């Protein structure tokens, strides 16, 4: 799978983002591989729990912007990033995330759909969507305010302010903060504990917990995607991407 590695060990499917030289920035090919890994985990009766983590000093730096600009996803029926997002959103089996270092964009929004999240104390989480002239995705405009309240969600989604692992814990986004060297051990321990429980009961409990908001989450994801498609063609987004390429600060004051 190239930069996405999978390993099945005692009913636990480890899915590793493995592009440490680029802080695990995600290309379209990597999104496809991530989606396939989650889908295969769902379909494989030998998998009870899925664990998502990154190799190296980062979870993921989010989209690889150069790949994103070279391969625009507008016009595709189901873009690879959306396929991955929906695979995690709709997963019936438990999904655990272990995050460290740079945790950006979809690296944060996907956590809202994971059942357990563990963070290294060096994790830095940021959702810079507005800074790029676009809008947040993965149902985060619904789930973040529901989790932490409108004002705190606005700090993350509108200001695009980075937060520490400890702050993410205080906001309810992660279950525990641990030293980096303990991160995988902690996440694997939780995965093993879940894998030893009655699988059908675990799945039924997850389904019941998510059921009250499931339809609304799906609706909001589609609403976000519609607005995102429009924003990708906006002059603000073009300015943000050009500023990135030209290594300068974007000038958004020219737009109303």
Q: Provide the CATH number for the domain around residue 19.
A: 3.90.226.10
Q: In this predicted structure, what is the pLDDT of residue 68?
A: 79
Q: In what order do the strands lie in the sheet with 49-54?
A: 4-9, 12-17, 49-54, 95-99, 116-120, 176-178
Residue 188 lies in a domain: no
Q: In what order do the strands lie in the sheet with 102-104?
A: 102-104, 124-126, 163-164
Q: In this predicted structure, what is the pLDDT of residue 253?
A: 86
Residue 61 lies in a domain: yes
CA-CA-CA-CA dihedral for 145, 151, 153, 158, to nearest 10: 130
pTM for the model stands at 0.94
CA-CA-CA-CA dihedral for 59, 60, 61, 67, to nearest 10: 160
State which residues of the chain have pLDDT below 50. none
Residues 87, 38 contacting (CB under 8 angstroms): yes
Residue 136 lies in a domain: yes
Q: In this predicted structure, what is the pLDDT of residue 70?
A: 79
- What domain range is 62 assigned to? 4-177
Q: In this predicted structure, what is the pLDDT of residue 71?
A: 78
Residue 192 lies in a domain: no
What is the count of structural domains for the chain? 1
């Amino acid at each position: 799978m190239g930069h996405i590695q999978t390993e099945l060990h005692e009913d636990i499917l480890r899915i590793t983002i493995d592009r440490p030289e680029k802080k695990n920035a995600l290309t379209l090919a990597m999104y496809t591989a991530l989606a396939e890994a989650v889908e295969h985990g769902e379909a494989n009766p030998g998998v009870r729990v899925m664990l998502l983590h990154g190799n190296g000093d980062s979870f993921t730096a989010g989209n690889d912007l150069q790949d994103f600009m070279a391969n625009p996803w507008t016009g595709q029926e189901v873009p690879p990033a959306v396929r991955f997002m929906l695979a995690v959103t709709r997963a019936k089996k438990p999904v655990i995330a272990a995050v460290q270092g740079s945790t950006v964009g979809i690296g944060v929004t996907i956590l809202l759909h994971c059942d357990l999240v563990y963070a290294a104390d060096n994790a830095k989480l940021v959702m810079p969507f507005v800074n790029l002239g676009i809008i947040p995705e993965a149902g985060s405009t619904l789930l973040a305010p529901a989790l932490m309240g409108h004002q705190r969600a606005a700090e993350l989604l509108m200001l695009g302010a980075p937060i520490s692992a400890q702050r993410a814990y205080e906001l309810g986004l992660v279950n525990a903060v641990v030293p980096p060297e303990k991160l995988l051990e902690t996440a694997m321990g939780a995965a093993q504990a879940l894998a030893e429980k009655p699988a059908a009961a675990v799945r039924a409990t997850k389904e019941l917990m998510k059921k009250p908001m499931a339809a609304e989450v799906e609706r909001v994801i589609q609403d976000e995607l519609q607005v995102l498609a429009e924003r990708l063609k906006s002059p603000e987004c073009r300015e943000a991407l050009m500023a990135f390429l030209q290594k300068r600060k974007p000038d958004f004051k020219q737009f109303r």
